[in-house]
Amino acid sequence: MSAERLNVRDMTVMAVFAAALAVMSQISIPMPSGVPITLQTFALALIGYSLGAKRGAMAVLVYLLLGAVGVPVFANFHGGAAVFFGVTGGFLWTFWVTALFCGLKRDAGPGPAIASGLIGMILMYAVGLAQFMVLTGTGFKEALMLCVAPFIIKDLVSLVLAYGIAKTVRRRVGL
């Protein structure tokens, strides 16, 4: 089995999607927990459903690398490696996993694709919740109410909308 090589078009499309994630990260509503409501989950799902597992995960890793080196691409124009070790860092660590899971079943139809995206989202919630609990000393129930409850409906709707929009994006862009 030979390794599939990326061409300039692939890299350009991944860069455009990484930039879209950076823009959607700035559409932000502050929350008391310190974890803002953003369009990041929508962007992650759109990236995975549009680019597939490998390219989607790579596009998100580009975004994370840009943020890690200090480019202010994270929510509220934050950047730098320290963000990964703050209350929102656990979510960031698993952004690429969410895009990967969305992309894994993108061609299997809406049910399997959205279910796979939901698994990625649950993994993101789990790691994000764990880091939040460790850093804040918050118990599981309270952390769940602060870090999951305000987001769950928006994130489920995001998965469904992103799947539908990605079908059009893939057809129009030739992905």
3 in any annotated domain: no
Is 60 exceeded by the pLDDT of residue 2? no
1 within a domain of the structure (yes/no): no
Q: 102: domain CATH number?
A: 1.10.1760.20
* Domain limits for position 114: 8-173
- Tell whether 2 is covered by a domain: no
Whether this model's pTM surpasses 0.75 = yes
Q: With respect to residue 96, please indicate whether it lies within any of the assigned structural domains.
A: yes
Question: What average pLDDT does range 67-73 have in this prediction?
Answer: 98
Q: Are the C-beta atoms of 41 and 158 separated by less than 8 Å?
A: yes
Total number of domains in the chain: 1
CA 147 to CA 6: how far, in whole Å?
37
Q: Are 94 and 124 in contact (CB under 8 A)?
A: yes
In a domain, 167, yes or no: yes
* Alpha helices (H) in 52-150, listed in sequence order: 53-68, 89-93, 95-104, 110-136, 140-147
Residue 37 confidence (pLDDT): 87
Task: Summarize pLDDT for 157-170 with one digit per residue, the tens.
Answer: 999 999 999 999 99
Distance of alpha carbon 151 from alpha carbon 146, whole angstroms = 9
* Rounded Cα gap, residues 54 and 58, in angstroms: 6
pLDDT, one tens digit per residue, over 13-65 is 999 999 999 999 999 888 888 788 899 999 999 999 999 999 999 999 999 99
Q: Across residues 68-72, what is the average pLDDT?
A: 98
Summarize pLDDT for 95-153 with one digit per residue, the tens.
999 999 999 999 999 999 999 999 999 999 999 999 999 999 999 999 999 999 999 99
